[in-house]
Structure 1
């Protein structure tokens, strides 16, 4: 085998090793994703509990919660795209015995910005969601102009001078079809890691086969 051919074989073998490593990595990511899905499904199946006090962990997201208290004045409209089309989420502060939490009361069409009916019930049921700092839709929140592209509870509370709020918000459950329309939380996790893993392994096999052929030709077989 010539030196050039040997170098090509060595390079190809390194490529095979890299492709196999990528396949294994995707299988590891798949295991993590499946564990996440299983944990979220358990939270969704569990009965609602009182919202936690203080900091929350990522594992707390999508926990079913129930809170009782009174609504405070000050809706905030954050841009949204849902199965009902483009519009806004309506976030309203809700004062409980444990403190104030922002509640995403639901979705309203674009034409209803600033016109959402006032809430009445003193009980909120829904899912705990982590704050969304910074912005969204490739745009940054602009508190001075009251333009919000994500549900950033810290920034919203500061802009509204709400005072201390929980470091999360609650996505309200379905409310019977009125506006704002609750219950539109999408709990879906993209899980294509097995497809990617099989792709990397197939490429590794293909490169390995051609490497074997090159090596055989180099030996004069």
Structure 2
């Protein structure tokens, strides 16, 4: 009987822990959905002129509309596009009045890498963004080849001599470049799957506890018979 009680105690504790983890993931899901809704609202707001001192903290997805000049220099950031394959994001210096910022013009297929791209005067609508794509596994950029493996705003700005401000274009700037506007598709939201996993594990824990309890009960010696 003691073994059965101990097993039931372990079963109860394990089930409670797994259910709590599932509930916590549901709470995280509600938080993430609220955050995504706020980001979508900010992304879709009416565009404004480029602010004087944009920062990741104050204007993380600010929609802007600017007139300026796309300069000749550029960086290619290795990327891929669903149903298209590998290619590059084209990052160019963009002069706006007396300032120069980074412009993410969009996706360029590898087959168009050597095709001349238009530069010069342009009116751009898009969003400011500071992507967080660099980690310990990201290869170092190759400045000689003008090839980067992630959009590192600080290093790209240093290489192209611009402010560390990146504008993601939503308007087309060249026939060979497909704009890739800012959206929330790249922000993971797997909390529902995690919650389901924890709840299923809790169910399995209950079933296994019941199964082993039955086996222990069946293995107990029977009392004397008359």
TM-score clears 0.5? yes
| Matched positions, count | 215
> Relative to structure 1, is the Cα distance of residues 146 and 109 closer, same or farther in structure 2, using a 3 angstrom cutoff?
same
Distance 1:24 1:208 in 2: 17
- Equivalent residues of 2:48, 2:64 under 8 A apart: yes
Distance 2:207 2:41 in 1: 45
Task: Name 1:156's counterpart in structure 2.
Answer: 156
Structure 2: stretches of 5+ with no match in the other structure: 221-226
Is 1:179 the counterpart of 2:176 in the alignment? yes
Task: Name 2:55's counterpart in structure 1.
Answer: 55
Quote the RMSD (CA, aligned, Å): 3.1
Distance 1:194 1:133 in 2: 24
Distance 2:109 2:151 in 1: 17
Distance 2:129 2:110 in 1: 23
Task: Name 2:195's counterpart in structure 1.
Answer: 197
- Equivalent residues of 2:43, 2:183 under 8 A apart: no
Distance 1:133 1:205 in 2: 38
Alpha-carbon deviation of 1:149?
0.9
Superposed CA deviations along residues 101-157 of structure 1, whole A, max 9, x for unmatched, are 100112222133254412233321112221446479853433355321111121122
Task: Name 2:32's counterpart in structure 1.
Answer: 33
TM-score (norm 2): 0.78
SS in 2 for 1:130: coil
Q: Which has the larger radius of gyration?
A: 2
Distance 1:97 1:35 in 2: 37
- Equivalent residues of 2:70, 2:94 under 8 A apart: yes
Distance 1:24 1:41 in 2: 26
